[in-house]
A and B are shown apart, each in its own frame.
Chain A
Amino acid sequence: MKTLSLKNLQKTYFDPYAGSQVTAVHDVSLDVEQGEFVSVVGPSGCGKTTILNMIAGFIPYSGGEILLDGIAVNGPGPDRGVVFQSFALFPWKTVLDNVSFGPKIRGVPKAERDRIAREYLELAGLSHAADRYPNELSGGMQQRVGVVRALANNPAVLLMDEPFASVDAQTRMTLQEELTRIWQQRKPTVIFITHDVPEAVFLANRVVVLSKGRVLDQIKVDLPRPRVWDDLMQDETFKRLSSQVLQMVRSA
């Protein structure tokens, strides 16, 4: 069952300095199944962030449609959870209160929302940090909080824009493994934007390659799960898929 549907999506920015229009997204159509993990890759400036921000409702679109369960998207909302590259945690809230913020807005009573938040923190191995403030955590820990904060709100889609780009390589691999594990347990619908081709393949059911504001190609990833780097690094299928995607990106 498809949940998210982009139809001939288009975005034109007005550049006030040049005094001219810039078309960042020309014509993008994409259907995402419920519980699917879609990675989106493409060269810098091809419109990835723009598309994600339109789905999130942070910026308006200039043409086409974005439908979530058949309803047109208009402005940000809790049905679309977002994980930011810069984490965007609330510095004035403890880790627990960050994660329980979404349920709190929905009016979930305190005991219940704290239970939900603790369950998700446990899932991310962060139970011990519940009462700390974000500035007391490492970047990797902060992004784990960012991910479960979005998940705890039970969104229809999870939108992630290069969420692991600002942590070190070691931590990034751990976070990737954790994300696939959490995805397997909860089966959220995910759109994951990245520059990193192996990361895209490692995580996804499907990789979408963008070029200059259009969908260039897509590729299914049928690698078995659970996926861990120790296995996949040597895996022939993984290597073949990665180099295939890499070639598409480089030709884009």
Chain B
Amino acid sequence: MFVAPLLALVAVWAVVVPLFDVNPRIFPSVASVANAALDTIRDGSLFRHIGASLLRVGLGTVIGVVTAVPLGIAMGVSPAISSFLTPLFRFFSVLAGIAWIPIATLWFGYGFGAIVFVIFNAVFFVVAYNTLLGVSTIPMTIRNAAASLGAGRWVMLTEVLLPGALPNIVTGVRTGLGFAWRGLIAAEMIATNVGLGYMLFVARDFYRTEVIVLGMIVIGLLWLLIDRLLLVPLERATIERWGLVRRT
């Protein structure tokens, strides 16, 4: 589905660069980028960078979601706590990701820890805030219905609050991962010696525009793949089936 517009873009690129005889230090040709792709695939460096980046995103996201969802639910259950904390979470949602890189490197040093922290941070606040929102939008009658069927605290949590908040949780994860992905690239430019961000940054020092553009393409494609292959199917399998989706 999303292949055609991307191919169109490549076609424009393939025409424009030779047409205006663009200096390769300014922008590379399609062929040189394809070559760079083959080279970095052959020597294994591309997959090393991708692997490092995905591991960091995966770990930071899992930690973020696992901590944010219970906290979001706890806050959503109590209107007093949720109205008190909502502005704070909005505030931190805006800051999520990139703005934390400097302080993360102070706390964790340059490397894995700082980057995972930035990812975690980007995911955590957005998911917690959305979970809180999700729980507080579950109609009181649904909670009353569960209670009068005999649901105690645990059943209420697992069978009502969690599934009821799931549409918002998925939205939160999608938004949070978007922040995290950008934060990751930025953090890798500063705080490490492997990963897609690092690949871009080093290539710049050698005027390797074909590697820079290759990196940008990979970053964009990976995000589309994560979204289409992971997040969208998750939404389909649950929320749309339940008729809970608020169409955007």
> Which A residues form the contact surface with B (CB < 8 A)?
56-58, 75-78, 80-82, 84, 86, 88-92, 101-102, 105-106, 133-136, 149-150, 153
Contacts and interface: CB of A to CB of B under 8 A. Distances in A.
A57 B148 contact: yes
A76 B148 contact: yes
12 contacts: A56-B144, A56-B148, A77-B150, A78-B149, A78-B150, A88-B141, A88-B145, A102-B149, A134-B243, A135-B243, A135-B244, A153-B149
Given A77-B150, A89-B145, 17 more contacts: A57-B147, A58-B144, A58-B148, A77-B147, A77-B148, A78-B148, A90-B142, A90-B145, A90-B146, A90-B163, A92-B166, A92-B238, A105-B151, A135-B242, A135-B244, A136-B243, A150-B148
Nearest to A106: B150
Contacts of A150: 148-149
Interface residues of B, number: 23
A99 to B, nearest CB: 10
B183 interface: no
Contacts of B244: 91-92, 135
Contacts of A133: 241-243
A contact face: mostly helix, strand, loop, or mixed:
loop
A199 B35 CA distance: 79
Contact of A91 (B141, B148, B242): B242
A202 to B, nearest CB: 26
A121 to B, nearest CB: 16
A60 to B, nearest CB: 14
A77 B142 CA distance: 14
B150 A105 contact: yes
Contacts of A102: 149-150
Interface string B224-248: 0000000000000010011110000
B155 A80 contact: no
A82 B144 contact: yes
Interface string B44-83: 0000000000000000000000000000000000000000
